Amino acid sequence: MNGAQEILKSRRTIYKFSDKRVDYSELELAFEAADNAPCHKKTYPWKYYVVGRKSREMLLPTVISLCRKKEESKGNVASKQSEARAISKIMDVPVIIAVTTKLTPGDDFREEEDYAATVCSLHNLVLSLWSRGIGSQWSTGGITRHQSTYKNLGISETKERIIGFVKVGYPESIPGEKKVEARKIVEYLP
């Protein structure tokens, strides 16, 4: 894929990944892009944890319990299929990266700016991958915010906040999500 504009305009969230393995050299390139994001006070608040199979397995008891609770809230009992789907969303994704932003207790503005910088960094990562034909999905599902996830991934809840998991892989299909017309999001003021 050529040209920044084409990369920016064609990127879509990918929900179905093929089995093709993502080489770690591709991740390294994307982390380099992520590391070049703007950051106001040079706090470099972003951190990326590539979640391996063993670590993913540790998340499963909570994944299953969240699935059961979700079904209960709808008046259902979780079926084996819905539990298997929830497990598959963690175990069958080629790469999962937990993204964190630094916390600065007592300084809400610093945390807000740092969150903004981390999102810029995350999107650099996503776009770098996309430029190499690799798709991703930012997920903020219950498992990404659960207390046990911090413990299982060895992330300090007092120092960092998980802003999501980025699921990464080669796209099996690319959704045709349409966007608002650009002219509708801009006003040129006198």
Ligand X SMILES: Cc1cc2nc3c(=O)[nH]c(=O)nc-3n(C[C@H](O)[C@H](O)[C@H](O)COP(=O)(O)O)c2cc1C
Binding status of residue 10 toward ligand X by CB under 6 A: no
Choose which of 139, 146, 148, 155 interacts with ligand X (CB under 6 A).
139
Binding status of residue 141 toward ligand X by CB under 6 A: yes
Which of the stretches 69-77, 100-108, 132-140, 182-190 binds ligand X when contact is defined by CB under 6 A? 132-140
Which of the stretches 24-32, 89-97, 103-111, 138-146 binds ligand X when contact is defined by CB under 6 A? 138-146
Comparison of 104 and 139: residue with beta carbon closer to ligand X = 139
Q: Return all residues near 91 (Cβ < 8 A) that are at least 6 apart.
A: 53, 56, 57, 60
Binding status of residue 177 toward ligand X by CB under 6 A: yes
Binding status of residue 48 toward ligand X by CB under 6 A: no
Alpha helices in the chain (DSSP H): 4-10, 24-34, 53-73, 80-91, 108-131, 142-145, 147-153
Locate 32 and state its tokens: 């380099």
The rounded distance, in Å, linking the Cα atoms of 151 and 59 is: 10
Which of the stretches 24-32, 63-71, 131-139, 182-190 binds ligand X when contact is defined by CB under 6 A? 131-139
Choose which of 33, 35, 138, 155 interacts with ligand X (CB under 6 A).
138
Contacts to ligand X from residues 13-32, by CB under 6 A: 13
Locate 143 and state its tokens: 């498992």
Q: How many residues does the chain have?
A: 190
Q: Supply the minimum distance, in Å, between the C-beta of residue 122 and ligand X.
A: 9
Binding status of residue 68 toward ligand X by CB under 6 A: no
Q: Supply the minimum distance, in Å, between the C-beta of residue 96 and ligand X.
A: 13
Locate 180 and state its tokens: 């608002």
Which of the stretches 26-34, 53-61, 75-83, 137-145 binds ligand X when contact is defined by CB under 6 A? 137-145
φ/ψ (deg, to 5) at 146: -75, 145
Query: Is residue 55 classed exposed, middle or buried when 0-12, 13-18 and 19+ CB atoms within 10 A define those classes?
Result: middle
Sign of CA dihedral 42, 154, 143, 103: negative
Chain contacts with ligand X (rule: CB under 6 A) = 12-13, 137-141, 164, 175, 177
